[in-house]
A and B are shown apart, each in its own frame.
Chain A
Amino acid sequence: TQLLEQSPQFLSIQEGENLTVYCNSSSVFSSLQWYRQEPGEGPVLLVTVVTGGEVKKLKRLTFQFGDARKDSSLHITAAQPGDTGLYLCAGAVDRGSTLGRLYFGRGTQLTVWP
């Protein structure tokens, strides 16, 4: 069973366009993170959101945590070729046997064409 559903799985856009990636679940998360992975490398953390309704901005990237802490979105404004990569959301579910675990979504492969 996939705990986190990411959509879309693939996104191919032109430079300058805006885009939104979604991360949804029926589970409540104590925190949610977004990572970016480039070919041949490991994922690198972009942001962590903890509070329901929280919005964080990182230059042209805006991250939002749902009020119920079950979903999140990543919005990129005026995408650039350098934004190309695999975007992964990951949620921490800190209860019972899942203590200490971070569950990853299947990722969104973003390609931005010049």
Chain B
Amino acid sequence: DTAVSQTPKYLVTQMGNDKSIKCEQNLGHDTMYWYKQDSKKFLKIMFSYNNKELIINETVPNRFSPKSPDKAHLNLHINSLELGDSAVYFCASSQKLRDRLFSGELFFGEGSRLTVL
């Protein structure tokens, strides 16, 4: 069983469209994340949820909206896609933050490669 799974793995769409990426983890972790990896392989955090509560919201355009229906799922919806949104988006999870301090390791999904034409 895959620990952190995301769908779809590949997404090709036109500029201006709306798309969603789904993520599920079966590790029993309380904390989930969305990271963006650009063409130069730089990984940058976008959002973090701890037990369905948004705790990290980096400087990300409002067009990006995360949703966590339960602690095992964290989805990412992107409105009005732009060329610059093309990247690989990684979902990750980690054990519960202790006193909001990061600890443990991040378990990443395989990534969702988004290409905006």
Residues in chain A within 8 A of chain B (CB atoms) = 30-31, 33, 35, 37, 40-45, 48, 86, 88, 90, 92, 94, 99-104, 106-107, 109
Tell me how many residues of B have a C-beta within 8 Å of chain A: 26
Assess the B103–A31 pair: CB atoms within 8 A.
Answer: yes
The CA-CA distance from A92 to B102 in the complex, in Å, is: 7
Residues in chain B within 8 A of chain A (CB atoms) = 4, 31, 40-45, 48, 50, 55-56, 90, 92, 97, 100-106, 108-111
The CA-CA distance from A88 to B90 in the complex, in Å, is: 15
The CA-CA distance from A41 to B102 in the complex, in Å, is: 23
Distance in angstroms from B93 CB to nearest chain A CB is: 11
Assess the A102–B106 pair: CB atoms within 8 A.
Answer: yes
The CA-CA distance from A43 to B43 in the complex, in Å, is: 10
**A interface secondary structure, majority:** strand
Per CB-CB distance, the 9 closest pairs between chain A and chain B, nearest first, are A42-B108, A45-B105, A104-B43, A92-B102, A99-B100, A94-B101, A107-B41, A106-B42, A100-B102
Assess the A107–B55 pair: CB atoms within 8 A.
Answer: no
